[in-house]
Chain A
Amino acid sequence: MATENQHIKELVKRRYEPGFFTDIESDTIAPGLSEDVVRFISEKKNEPGWMTEWRLKAFALWQNMPTPKWAHVHYPEIDFQAISYYSAPKSGAKYESWDEVDPKLIETYDKLGVPLHERARLAGVAVDAVFDSVSVGTTFRKELAEAGVIFCSMSEAIQDHPELVRKYLGSVVPQGDNFYAALNSAVFSDGSFVLIPKGVRCPMELSTYFRINELNTGQFERTLIIAEEDSHVSYLEGCTAPMRDENQLHAAVVELVALDRAQIKYSTVQNWYPGDEHGKGGIYNFVTKRGDCRGERSKISWTQVETGSAVTWKYPSCILRGDHSSGEFYSVALTHNFQQADTGTKMVHLGKNTRSHIISKGISAGRGQNAYRGLVQVNKKADNARNFTQCDSLLIGDRCGAHTFPYIEAKNATAQIEHEASTSKISDDQLFYCLQRGISEEDAVSMIVDGFCKEVFKELPMEFAVEAKKLLEVSLEGAVG
């Protein structure tokens, strides 16, 4: 024990590689939130009247909602009037061609490993790059259009496909769903919009890369993915922010709709700035993600690797409405230093013969606090529902915490629900075994952690799995020895 603690302290300080700031001129409105700010954002984006009304309704709801306090996280009260709710690179948000995009922006994404320029693009992955509040560009648009797939920024979708946006926006996460969803509905700036038409298997992975750059801004993006009957899509999301001493708020909403036999796979590698080793700075990541398996035999699968943010509050969920629909949740959440995470999922079984599968791996190091919170609800008419949940925690060091709060509600006698949880640490025996075979302590730890997370990593698309593994290694630097 003692030697282990010693090593923990000795190991190198972790580095947050994406922690740089891009010096670019921005249009940023003064901090503060009011009906006028909501109108300003809507106007700035040249939105139709119904959209402005929709935002205002959300704002009215938000004003009467208390901030949620039930999560197992602690942070100072957020002053919502001290945040700026809109920031965009000054050079304009829409570009006719990539050549017009400010080279500094392209460079930023290059540095983040997300090349946007045609010659360097990631093969087989179409990217929508969101910088602070706006989308700076989407790659592979032509190729996708040929397949009938709509992949554009939310702002464009509101202009170009208003009927689709009106039909689906808020249909999974209504404006008044919760405090942060209401805030997002009022002030969301941009995000991605995807529609996969009937019978289409999306020819490539779609992805959005979120970047917070400006100081004192909040990021509120909104993503909507609709998979029509018999369609199929895999979507990736990545995010980073500069290192700053102040906390910054990120409150996103993601809505997924899967119609009959459609499949949506949504993967996230979340690497927002986590704050420094003293717990200073970092992103507050308060996100509402929900998928609606509206059609029969539809399937929604969430995979997340959460290594960033100072405080994470997110529960990617599935409403299993269609008969025979299924939902999956695979999660790795790592908290180090003073990071806190309260994350998990909700599986709401409404249709008959619905299935859900939950694998959650929490890793706590340093003084990190990691909580799994999950709901499995089998409703009265959901005959033959099945759920399997496994949540495992790994503790590294004796000052961190690992918590499990599963809620299981069964109202149907044909339900079969199994929940298992375990807590373990990297044992001295395991470490010694590796050392004795000539493996360094650091390698041994990452090997053991990697093994612990294997079930989740294998759900990630290949390129992401590699990135996720690396990210975990970097995030754990200084945690063990």
Chain B
Amino acid sequence: MSLIEALLSTAPDATAGWWQPSREAHRVIVERHGLPDRRQENWKYTALRPIEGHRYQAPEQGVLQPEDLAELLDANGVPQLTGSRITFVNGHYAPALSHVDDVAGLKVRALSQLGDAEAASASAELATEFSRPDEGFAALNTLLASDGVLLEFSGTTHADGQDMATAPVVELLFVDVPGATPAATAVRNIIKIGPGASLSLLERYVSAGEGVALINSLSQVELEAKSRLSHVRLPLLGEERSLISRLDVRLGEGSDYRCFGLDLSGTLVRHDLNVAMVGRDAQASLNGVYAPRGKTHIDNHVAVDHRVPDAVSSQAFKGVLSERSRGVFNGKVVVQEGADGTDASQSNANLLLSPDAEIDTKPELEIYADDVKCAHGTTVGALSGDQLFYLTARGIPEVEARRMLTTGFCREVLEGIPVESVRDHAISLLTDHLQDIQA
């Protein structure tokens, strides 16, 4: 059974009527294009082989009790967070594991719970057509998604200068609990931040138990004028779990989006982060750390599309590749004709720690306007000898010095996370992870 056949077999039988037409349209697209392969430029460095060869099935739902979840989070070093949490287990909304704070303007619902009338506000997103041959997983997502969140926040206008650190926090928690058979799940999230509102979003994936699982996640995020969103993504994946995620973000005038990803584990992890600057003076800060080990493959594809003048975007991604792992970074900036005053920067730095590790990086610029500031820098290398000597000359043993430098190399990127507790958590995940890596 091919991968596509296996995945198609997990399609939900019956779904809400308002979702059905778009599912059927994407069935046609999926049948036409199938899944992407390495002949497509966007998949040149990522083969699907690691996730092939499994007879995927849609896993059971409702298998996790609140005390199980508490234990699971504890085991993953997740601290108690204040704020709202929406939990999905094996791709299905788990009301018993979720709570939403009473925050004015915050509306959080599972797609599966929406009535026809409420679904209207999600219909445009669900009907988005993913028809390019290289976006097969997004097309599949529309066809297969079992559930997901519709989050709308129209909270009070933030005072100018108000720190994003104090915005309300919402956590999206995706727990996968595969059974004896390999599990495939798909979730779809729609997030809308109203004019002037500020929100802090934490997107977390946690694996329970052993087993093979493939998660297909697609989120569509809309930031209206002058709104702000900080978005931290922490996939705490088990060794045999894979994640194919796509995040499409549209930034309205004067809005501010900051995204931080930390990828440390899994079999195959692929992120497509597409950011469209559709309003003037929008700002996007896209950041990521990847530190795979073992045979983990992590691929970050970032594309920023400057369609209007005077928007600012930055990409900062850092990778530490050890053992037999492989990293891929493809950062793209497109500045469309007329998007003058664009300021786009891009940086990707990599440390290769093992003779068997590999990094493929491709920082692209496509520029059709002349009054722009665009620059990128990319490096691949080993730890600096000068830095290493400085540390050892102060008495720090070499092994520890290497670890300190490796951690320092990455943590810079995470230090921009606005919410302190989330920042500390992300940094401690990174530090613990790098603790036993032979640098």
Binding site for B on A (CB under 8 A): 1, 70, 72, 378, 380, 393, 395-425
Contact = CB atoms under 8 A, between A and B. Distances in A.
30 contacts: A1-B340, A398-B337, A398-B338, A398-B369, A399-B368, A400-B370, A401-B368, A402-B367, A403-B364, A404-B363, A406-B364, A408-B361, A409-B358, A413-B353, A413-B382, A415-B352, A417-B378, A417-B379, A418-B377, A418-B378, A419-B376, A419-B378, A419-B379, A420-B375, A420-B376, A423-B365, A423-B367, A423-B373, A423-B375, A425-B372
Contact of A421 (B350, B357, B365, B371): B365
Overall SS of chain B's interface: strand
The size bracket of the interface on B is 35 or more
A401 B366 contact: yes
B291 to A, nearest CB: 15
B381 A406 contact: no
Contacts of B372: 395, 423, 425
Contact of A413 (B340, B357, B362, B377): B357
Nearest to A373: B364
A415 B363 contact: no
A417 B380 contact: yes
Contacts of B358: 409-411
Given A402-B365, A408-B360, A408-B361, A422 B375 contact: yes
A72 B372 CA distance: 21
Interface string B332-345: 00000110100000
B377 A414 contact: no
A82 to B, nearest CB: 30
Contacts of B365: 393, 402-404, 421, 423
Nearest to A411: B358
A406 B367 contact: no
B378 A410 contact: no
Contacts, number: 113
A421 B376 contact: yes
Contact of B363 (A400, A421, A423): A421
A425 B371 contact: yes
Nearest to B334: A403
A399 B370 CA distance: 8
B8 interface: no
Contact of B370 (A398, A403, A411, A420): A398
A401 B375 contact: no
* Leading 9 A-B pairs by shortest Cβ distance: A395-B370, A417-B380, A413-B352, A423-B374, A419-B378, A404-B365, A425-B370, A416-B381, A410-B380
Contact of B350 (A403, A410, A422): A410
Given A70-B41, A395-B370, A406 B362 contact: yes
Nearest to A400: B370
Among B360, B369, B380, max chain A CB count under 10 A is at B380
Contacts of A401: 366-368
Among B337, B365, B366, B372, max chain A CB count under 10 A is at B365
Contact of B382 (A72, A378, A414, A418): A414
Nearest to B363: A406
Given A416-B382, A420-B376, A403 B360 contact: no
B370 A408 contact: no
B371 A405 contact: no
B363 A410 contact: no
Given A398-B340, A403-B367, A415-B380, 19 more contacts: A1-B371, A395-B367, A395-B372, A396-B370, A398-B370, A398-B371, A401-B367, A402-B365, A403-B364, A404-B363, A406-B378, A407-B360, A408-B362, A413-B382, A418-B379, A421-B375, A421-B376, A423-B365, A423-B375
Given A398-B371, A413-B353, A425-B371, A405 B362 contact: yes
Contacts of A415: 352, 380-381
B78 to A, nearest CB: 33
Contact of A403 (B353, B359, B366, B369): B366
A395 to B, nearest CB: 4
Contact of A422 (B355, B371, B374): B374
A415 B353 CA distance: 11
A413 B378 CA distance: 16
B362 A407 contact: yes
